[in-house]
Amino acid sequence: MAGPDDPKYHCRAIDGIAELTRSNIPMTESPFPLEPTAAEAQAAIADEFALFGDWSERYQYLIDLGRKLPDLPDALKTDDFRLHGCQSNVWISGEGDAQRLDFRAISDSAIVSGLIYLALRVYSGRSAAEILATEPDYIAAIGLAKHLSPTRSNGLAALLGFIRERAAATQG
């Protein structure tokens, strides 16, 4: 991780357009990545969700995962960092370069926070190339697409789009 004197770049979502901006808000310790590769993260997610017999248990697990997200500083819970396209409030920040991009995000919705946790588990702490090469197969593998409302599906698509845009931006 970069030292305190290194410039930090955070992603800001402003009117649906993401841009890199310099910030003095340090990246807190992130729990991600948990697995060495995005593919292994997706496989682990599928294995974990397979342990649950029905969707009420899976939703509870999503809520529990969302509670594991580190909180964001209040300075990042502003419109500048709000992810547009979500019905719930979602704030996201990212920093890094093509070799490693770290994301942090949070929502005021328990289930959406769980969706964020899954996305960050797959993509945060990875190289831009790995992010761009990794389709979110975990969504179909756990049957998530069939069990999300249209507004949550749109929000998840916005989150994944934001992550991919940041990765593409680093490859210039």
Catalytic positions are 86
Alpha-carbon distance of 40 to 51, in angstroms, equals 17
- Per-residue tokens: 53: 């017999």
Query: Chain centroid to CA 78: how far?
Result: 17
Distance CA 110, CA 65 (A): 9
**CA dist., res. 122 & res. 15, Å (int):** 26
How far is it, in rounded angstroms, from Cα 5 to Cα 129?
Answer: 27
Per-residue tokens: 20: 């890199």
Contact 122, 131 (CB under 8 A): no
Nearest Cα to 8, choosing from 99, 101, 75?
101
